[in-house]
Amino acid sequence: MVNDSVWLVSHCSGRCCRHKCDPARITRPLPLHQLLRAVGVYRRCTGCVRVVHGLCTAFSAQYQATFFLKDAPKTDTKIAVIGGSGIYDIDGLDGAEWVSVESPWGTPSDQILTGTLDGVVMAFLPRHGRGHVHSPTSVPYRANIDALKRLGVTDVISISACGSFREEMAPGDFVVVDQFIDRTFAREKSFFGAGCVAHVSVAHPTCPRLSVACITAAKETGINVHTSGTYLAMEGPQFSTLAESKMYRTSWGADVIGMTNMPEAKLAREAELCYASVAMITDYDSWHPDHGEVDVTQIIATLMGNADKARSMVAKLPGLLGKDRAPCPHGCDRALEYAILTRPEARDPALMAKLDAVAGRML
């Protein structure tokens, strides 16, 4: 790791930065916070300066994140819960109200239940709609994430029913997912495209900070929770064949299987929302020799018990996350920082208008 005291800035012309940084010339080593102050880089524009250290020509994201988190103002925590099969509301909200949110990306799955819990603003969105009217494919994922962003949500907890590929991940258990394999193919997977191209990283698609809160809440509730797992997202609505189930389990190394967390997790990252996924195990898919094929009646029975556990877990989250929220230490809320490639003059105005909530901070 490079000691930040040896980083040098050779010159800033001001031409490269839409934030109009003042030109500066630094000829001696400076600590990073003094260096940034000298060139006026308070808006995270890496193009403002050329850093001279070997072959490096820009600040590393790690150094920027360290600096900007240090003095960044805190905001209010606003937690959204996206409930899957069996979870169509949450209990105990003060001032509970179902509100409609308009989105340029379509109509969300349902109205959003808003209120406060232990002084923290909460929002609940039933992914399939009340009455379970959306299939996994027809869920309006972009509209859902956009609507939550418009409500000012900072943290999204996804709760969904899943099958298990692991003996030890038994029906009734919860798994806090940290990786995905995306096998969906009939869904819009990005807010960006022709007219504004962006590439965000989903190497680590869930937020560790938020995942830890879910793990702690589950343990405090007495739920048998597994602290990591890989989620295989299939298109559905049919369940897996036996051959698929065995392949996902043995060759691909997946731990759980579901139909709804993709592209939801990718869209949350594009919208700069912290996202955690909690998989409620309902069955062993079709690989297990002692359990046979998936039985919907058994799934529903397990779902009812899981739904009560999930509500108890959610009730713990406001106390764990707190009302005041600092910037995400893992950068989820800055995911678009270096992601947008299309030059401002080449961007499609119609798409820009639709991105006003999702990417308004950058655009």
At residue 303, φ and ψ (nearest 5 deg) are -60, -40
How crowded is the C-beta side of 114, counted as CA atoms within 13 Å? 14
Closest by CA to 236, choosing from 271, 185, 202, is 185
Query: What count of other Cβ atoms lies within 10 Å of the Cβ of residue 201?
Result: 12
Calculate the CA dihedral of residues 210, 80, 151, 77 and round it to 10 degrees.
-40
Q: Is 76 a catalytic residue?
A: no
At residue 162, φ and ψ (nearest 5 deg) are -140, 155
Q: How far is 280 from 298, CA to CA, in rounded Å?
A: 14
Catalytic residue among 155, 173, 178, 285: 285
Q: How far is 2 from 183, CA to CA, in rounded Å?
A: 40
Closest by CA to 301, choosing from 86, 84, 82, is 86
Catalytic residue among 283, 295, 308, 356: 283
Query: What count of other Cβ atoms lies within 10 Å of the Cβ of residue 1?
Result: 6
Q: How far is 9 from 27, CA to CA, in rounded Å?
A: 7
Active site residues: 283, 285
